[in-house]
Amino acid sequence: MVPLGAFITVFGLILYYWMSKYNMLRRSSLSHNISGEMSLFSLKLIDFTLIMKPVGELIFDSGMRDGINP
């Protein structure tokens, strides 16, 4: 089984490589351009995560320990 398993593994890796390449090049392409408004909105959301991450950690901490421990 060892020699046959090596060939099956190599075949599986080659198949996985070509399927991933196809998915990245063909299926993941954008058909439309992203507007400038969308990119600005995304940048504002990145700034918003600076506030939401600590708030989420405090809420999680209060749920785990029955109180807030800053």
Distances (CA, A) of 17 to 8, 10, 25, 27: 14, 11, 12, 15
| Residue 46 to residue 37: CA distance in whole angstroms | 14
- Indicate the domain borders of the chain: 1-30, 32-70
Residue 69's pLDDT is what? 58
Ordered mean pLDDT values, 10 residues apiece, the chain (70 residues): 88 95 81 81 90 89 74
Residue 7's pLDDT is what? 92
